[in-house]
Every structure is written in C-alpha cells, then in structure tokens.
Amino acid sequence: MFTLFFRSVLVLTLLFGLLFGIGTAAIFYLDLPLVFAFFFAIGVIALQYALGPWILELIYKIQWKDMHSVDPVLAQFVDNACAAKGIPVPRFGLIDDGNPNAFTFGHYPGDARVVVTRGLIEKLSPEELQSVVAHELGHIAHWDFVVMTVAAIVPLLLYMLFMSLRFGGGRRRGRSGGTFAIIAIASYIAYILSHYIVLLLSRVREYYADQFAGEVTGNPEALSTALVKVAYGLATEAKGEKRDNVRMLAARTLGIFDPKSAQALALAGAATGTTSIQSMESAMKWDLWNPWGAIYELSSSHPLAAKRIRALERQTKSMGKVPRFSFRLEKPESYWDEFLVDLFANYLPLLGAVIGGLLAVQLAASGSVLAAAGAFLIVVSAAWWIKRWFSYNHNFEEQRTVANLVDEVKVSAVRSIPCTLEGEIIGRGVPGLFYSEDLVLQDHTGFITADYRQPIRFLEFLFGWTKADQLIGQRGKVMGWYRRAPRPYIEMRKIVLENGEVITSYLYPFQQFLVYLGLGLGALLFLGGFLSLL
C-alpha cells in the first residue's frame, strides 16, 4: 500500500513509461545515434514535468476551495507560515474522501497546489492538521518538484546508455567486444544504483519537510501524532457526530477542543484529543523490530513512519523541549527467524524454477522433452503451492480490530493473519482517484485499506470506476488476510455488507486453480514422456 503522493507519482510513471518504452523501441529500431536517445529521455522527463500537474488535476476529483471558507484557522496558519518563509500561498484543494491524506504538486513554488482529504481534516486535531500542511509547505519551500525531476533524469540516461550498448552501439562504432560488454554491464549496475539513490534522496527530502513543519509550528510532536494516525490508520471518527458539510469544519476549529479527536485511538483511553504513548509504541514496533521494515524502506520514496517520529523527537530536544514521547519498549525477541522463513517462502517459486529447469535439462538430454516439460511444471507448481499454503489460511473466524492488528510484529506481505474486521467503508484506497479500486474500512479503533484484487486488472479498474463510490458509507464485514508492506492492509477475500450484498475477490481461487492446473498438466506430460521412453 502506498501514500497518496507515491501513488500519484506511480500513475504518472505508468503514463510516461508507456511513451518512453515506445520511443525507445523506435530509436533502436531506426538505429538513431546515442545522443538522440539522451535528448529523447530528457524530453520525456521535461514533458512529464510540464504536463504532470494537469494530468493529476484531470484524474483526481479535486475541489478547489478558498481555504478560509473551509478552515479559517488553518488558512491563517498557512498565510503566516508562507509569509515567514517567503513562499507564495499555494492553491488549496479538497478531496471528498474519508481516507486521511495530503499531497502537493506543481512546477515551482509559484504555482504549487496543496491537496487534503476530508478525512484528514476530520480525524486530526487542529495542531496536527497544521503540522501535516506545514510538511507539504516544506516540499514547496525546498523546490522538491524540481529537485526530484532533475534527479530522475540520471537513471533514465544510464538506462538509455545501457540499451544502446546492449543493441550493439559500441560494436557498430568499431570498439572491441570486451570493452563494449564492460561498459554495458557498468551502465546497468549504475542504473540500478541510481534508482535507489533517487529513492534515498526522496526519503531525505521527506525528513527535511518534517523538520520544516516542526520549525514552522514550533511543535514537532504534533506531526508525530499525525503520522501515527495517518500512517498506521489509528484514527477514528467520534461517535454521534457525522459531517456532511465541509464548511462546518470552520466552526469546530475555532474551539479549543476538537471532539473528533476524542476517540482518535481506542488505546488512548481519555478524551485528550491526542495520541497516547502506549498506542504510539504499539504502532511503531513493526517498523523498528521487524527486519522487513528496513528491506521495504530501501525501495520506498518515504521513510518508515517510526523513523520519522524518532527524528521529530530529536528535533523536539534540539528546541530545548522535553519530548512527551520516546520509544521505550525493549524488543522481546529476535524476529530474524520469522524473517528468514518468510524470505524462503517468498522466493520458493524462483528456487523451484531453478531446480525445475536443471531437472528439465537433464531429462531433455535423455531424450524426453515431454518428461522435461512435465517435471519443470510439477516442481514450479509445487513450489507455488507451498508458498500459498504458507501465506493463505482461510480461518476467518477470528474477529479483530485495526488497533490490535497494527500491534502485531510477526506479519509481512508473505506471512498473514486471517481475520474478520467489521466497520464502515469511509473511502477509497487512493482518495479522489476515479478508478481507485481499494476500499478503506473504519472500525471503532482506526481505519485500514482493504486491497481489492481480481485475476484481470481491467476488472479492478471497472470496479473502481463504476462501483467503489456506491459502497462508501455502508457498513459490513471484511474477511481476508492482514499484511504489512510496510503499511497495514487487508488482502480482501470478500466483504459482506449489512444490506446482504457480497463483494468477492476471485484472485485467490483463480491462482489456486492455476497451481493445480500446473500440477495436473505437469503430471500428465511427465507420465507421457516417461511412457514414450519405454
């Protein structure tokens, strides 16, 4: 599961990746010079930079508002912060979705746009909301749109160099094959490294945006509690209060106490409007203790939430203040044994393909291609069956809550917890994206994404486009597998709504059918090949 900003970038990457792929194929088919390929790569990035904001506005349901009409206190804060830091006041957009999130985009500070969801305004206290918006202002102040666009050029150019050498650019110019191969390999390794360096740069800039928020608000801990609510899903809506008119937010924020924050966490106990130390510690355990956290972070544009909270704690100390929160729990055990088992299960199909391939080569050498193909299918399918047996348990009888699921450490994208959650569907997985198929379920302790999957991706798109909006506001039970990668989510098997309607994901049975088909077909081929040798 990704943040809204990361999913936005993913959408643009897919769109312009299609253009880049077709253009690259044309360049090498026409045997154009390498310099032309470089200019083409830079042109694609420039086009993405120029059209990106317009495309985002096109695909997201953003309502552009006067911030003063939505939240006067927030508007005054933004005006003051922008004046103090010498940046233009950004355009303000609202997405009518209960899933709390925020992001910013644009070309440069002068045309920057900050977008928040209704859920973010409803679920955060005024101080937390200001800290999240201040984080987005930090991206604007630091020119992150431009910096990350320029950084993205380097991996693309290295990839173009590799592709040129791969298709014989060096040989066509009379260079030796050895030199050609060394440069090609070095280019590809540099391309991979540069990709991770760009992600590292993105994570560093997230830390700087957090620091900017702490400086502007004078309260880094407000962003810490906001991160716990948004990143871990530990935020709920106060009972007995429904909000249909966003303008009502203005009246509430003028008060000293925000009743929506009273039940921000089931673990918080008292209606303080803030996040309890116990719940923050519970939420952070997975990030800090499970080895998968560090693995996932390497390929993420954002740091783990727990590490951001720790950095904010250090900032609080540097400001001469005593932090209200510091992670005090001691790790009760090593989680490397579970991690290694998960790792083995995750890559078991790949290992099966290697073993099956070696076995197939030996059988093919003995004269039976059918037996070789059958043996390969049997080994690979068996490896997939073992992984799926490890990853999927269909005992959904255990009733869980968001809060006690987030507390689990022994869970990953491979190791799941089968369970049932009951609550209300409050939004989409990607707020405002008209074809976002995932749903967000809220219970009395928090909210979590229900990952909707189908065998054919077009069916997911169709569900998101035509059906997802109709489910928002309905109550029901989600049955599926709780996972972390690194954000908490439920891989949905089905949702049973209170009105009796059932929403079913057919990906699991379809994949299971393919596994059994592979085993059966492999057995037939192997038997046929074996009999042909007799």
Residues belonging to the active site = 136
The Cα–Cα gap between 123 and 115 comes to 16
Cβ 250 vs Cβ 194: under 8 Å: no
Residues 6 or more apart whose CB falls under 8 angstroms from that of 8 comprise 56, 60, 103, 105
Cβ 207 vs Cβ 303: under 8 Å: yes
∠ CA(324), CA(328), CA(330), 5° rounding?
Answer: 170
241: how many CB neighbours lie within 10 A of its CB?
12
Residue 447 phi/psi, 5-degree rounding, is: -135, 155
Pairing outcome for strands 91-95 and 113-117: parallel
276: how many CB neighbours lie within 10 A of its CB?
20
Q: Which two tokens stand for residue 153?
A: 């050029």
∠ CA(256), CA(426), CA(241), 5° rounding?
Answer: 35
**Residue 111 has what DSSP assignment?**
G
Cβ 87 vs Cβ 109: under 8 Å: yes
- Alpha-carbon Rg for the chain, nearest whole angstrom, is 26
